[in-house]
Chain A
Amino acid sequence: DGGITQSPKYLFRKEGQNVTLSCEQNLNHDAMYWYRQDPGQGLRLIYYSQIVNDFQKGDIAEGYSVSREKKESFPLTVTSAQKNPTAFYLCASQYMGVGNTEAFFGQGTRLTVV
């Protein structure tokens, strides 16, 4: 089945720890995105990548880092510099064709600081 997979579904982090969220897609999409969602809020863009080995900061990149070494994978690291990391994280991918197209989302990772 083609799709986009996030893991783990739930993640607990201690204060001062870095954690990495996984996002893999087999849709052959060029673009991949990471969003953060807080309760009752919309989606805020953290980072995005439209080609391998290149990525751009979104609106709330501070305290996060990403890599795009393979087309299929776009992991997000939440660093200790992120002061309020507890949130729901969503990864998405998108075909970059003529005109803008729909985004496909993973099922999300809920990160909690303990």
Chain B
Amino acid sequence: SQQGEEDPQALSIQEGENATMNCSYKTSINNLQWYRQNSGRGLVHLILIRSNEREKHSGRLRVTLDTSKKSSSLLITASRAADTASYFCATDRGSTLGRLYFGRGTQLTVWP
């Protein structure tokens, strides 16, 4: 079963706009990770946020985590056409054994 559920399933915006994607989960977690996948390629790690953190930044990426609501959001500011990809959240379901549980992803399209 899918642990993370990304919302929306698809998002279409113009270059320069901000893109916000959400992820909900059902169990406790140690950390939550966001990954990006270009069409037909492998996943690339973007950012990891621990359960005791509320916000984290990396370049144009901003991730928030609300453990009370079991949700996270990924914000991409000033989006570019090159940001077009699928974005997945992944959680560990509270285990320290390393296994990750992925959601179905959000397909982001950024139009020039």
Contact = CB atoms under 8 A, between A and B. Distances in A.
A binds B: yes
Contact of A102 (B33, B40, B41, B107): B33
A99 B102 CA distance: 18
Interface residues of B, number: 29
Main secondary structure of the interface of B (DSSP, over half): loop
Contacts of A34: none
A103 B97 contact: no
A40 B97 CA distance: 28
Interface string A70-95: 00000000000000000010101010
Interface of A: 6, 31, 33, 35, 40-43, 45, 48, 50, 59, 88, 90, 92, 94, 96, 99-108, 110
List of 5 A-B pairs having minimum Cβ-Cβ separation, nearest first: A105-B42, A102-B45, A42-B104, A43-B102, A105-B43
